[in-house]
Amino acid sequence: MAFEERKTCEGLLVQPHDEQSEPIPVVEEQSEPIPVADAHCHLDQLCKRGSSAGLYKLDNLGTMQEYHTSLNYIVANYVYPGAWPSSSKRSDLREDPHIYFTFGIHPRLVLSESSNSLVHMFKKLKDMVKSTRTVGVGECGLDTTDGPTDSEFQKQIVYFRKQIQLAVDNNLTIVVHSRGKPDVHHQTLDSLINICPSSQPIHWHCFTGSTNFRLSYKHLSFISTH
């Protein structure tokens, strides 16, 4: 069994206390690529840019040679209703056993759409999350980077909470996007705590808060950050 040398994050060799001895073996060399999964992939955008149809064409991406890894599973996040795959397209994607789905309405999209459009989108979302191999709702959440007015921000909160409840009702993971002013993260957490049961799985994908804020909810074991 072969091992690599221990190094710092800067790539400097870390010697043991005895300068004459060999470096401490800590990392096993892999004879096979390490299997990895992408928990948050915008597959629609990736395929659009790369003219690819599914993971069977994306399973390398150069990682096999450079990082000695193999991309085995992805969770494809569809957050723009205009780009949600049709029923036939979803069937095509399901031919690849490595692909799973989440569907949601991105918080920045909530700001740009009319109330009537959002009602229609959410109605369609309720059907989309029942699609086979769907594992989550989102990404959804709150975002103040576009400088929303108070009424626009309240609209974000309304549709964030609607999507939280939708995830709870369908036993799906909530994929959370929270970006902007510090108060945004408190509002996000407040909505999650008030609606979610203790067993609710949450993937807090986009988080721009402080370390102290993250530590303040470390007791909530059902939340994982990315």
Query: What's the pLDDT tens digit per position in 146-179?
Result: 999 999 999 999 999 999 999 999 999 999 999 9
Query: What is the residue type of 155?
Result: K
pLDDT score, position 154? 95
Q: What is the C-alpha separation between 63 and 221, in angstroms, rounded? A: 32
Query: What's the pLDDT tens digit per position in 215-226?
Result: 666 555 455 554
pTM (two decimals): 0.76
Query: What's the pLDDT tens digit per position in 107-151?
Result: 999 999 999 999 999 999 999 999 999 999 999 999 999 999 999
More confident residue, 206 or 190: 190
From the number of C-beta atoms within 10 Å of its C-beta (0-12, 13-18, 19+), residue 45 rates as middle
Cis omega (within 30 of 0) for bond into 4: no
